């Protein structure tokens, strides 16, 4: 996969153009991206793991493994935690934002997908379960 970064330009009708392509090796599908502006990291869902990139250099700086069917990534910098919806295992993986190490795995119900975090609480929408799962 190539991650494409766009920026404004007076040369295109829409004002956007590709400024950089970042290759990410490996197998598996892709889904959501989440940026942490404070530390300039980009979290990219990739099959069974999350790739963590340095926004400025494009380098892969880490991974969050064992997230089968990963969909969304939510971050809560105020508590130093991140949350990953693992669609195939019906869990949310909670990880440390500094070390990227897994802290816990919490069952959510069937098919966790979209996820959002605020004030250290994550809410995950379960696409096939028809429910929402708050995780703290």
State pLDDT tens for residues 108-132. Answer: 888 888 888 876 666 777 666 666 6
The pTM score is 0.83
Q: Report the alpha-carbon distance of residue 134 to residue 107 in Å, rounded.
A: 11
Give residue 9's pLDDT.
Answer: 47
Three-state DSSP class for 108?
coil
DSSP labels for 8-43? E-TTSSSSEEEEEEEE--SSS-EEEEEEETTTTEEE
Enumerate residue ranges in the chain where pLDDT < 50.
Answer: 9-10
Give residue 13's pLDDT.
Answer: 76
Q: Would you say residue 12 lies in a domain?
A: no
Q: Would you say residue 67 lies in a domain?
A: yes
Q: Would you say residue 131 lies in a domain?
A: yes
**Beta-bridge partner residues of 92:** 85, 106
Pair 92, 82: CB distance under 8 Å:
no
Overall domain count for the chain = 1
Give the residue among 125, 129, 116, 29 at the shortest CA–CA distance from 74. 116
CATH number at residue 118: 2.130.10.10
């Amino acid at each position: 996969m190539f991650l494409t970064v766009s920026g404004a330009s007076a040369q295109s009708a829409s004002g956007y153009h590709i400024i950089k392509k970042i290759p990410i090796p490996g197998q598996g599908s892709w889904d959501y991206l989440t940026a942490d502006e404070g530390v300039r990291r980009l979290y990219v869902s990739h099959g069974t793991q999350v790739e963590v990139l340095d926004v400025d250099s494009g380098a892969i700086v880490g991974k969050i493994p064992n997230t089968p069917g990963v969909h969304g990534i939510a971050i809560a910098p105020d508590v130093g935690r991140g949350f990953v919806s693992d669609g195939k295992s019906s869990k949310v993986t909670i990880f440390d934002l500094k070390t990227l190490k897994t802290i816990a795995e919490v069952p959510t119900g069937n098919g966790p997908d979209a996820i959002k975090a605020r004030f250290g609480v994550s809410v995950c929408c379960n696409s096939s379960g028809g429910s929402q799962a708050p995780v703290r």
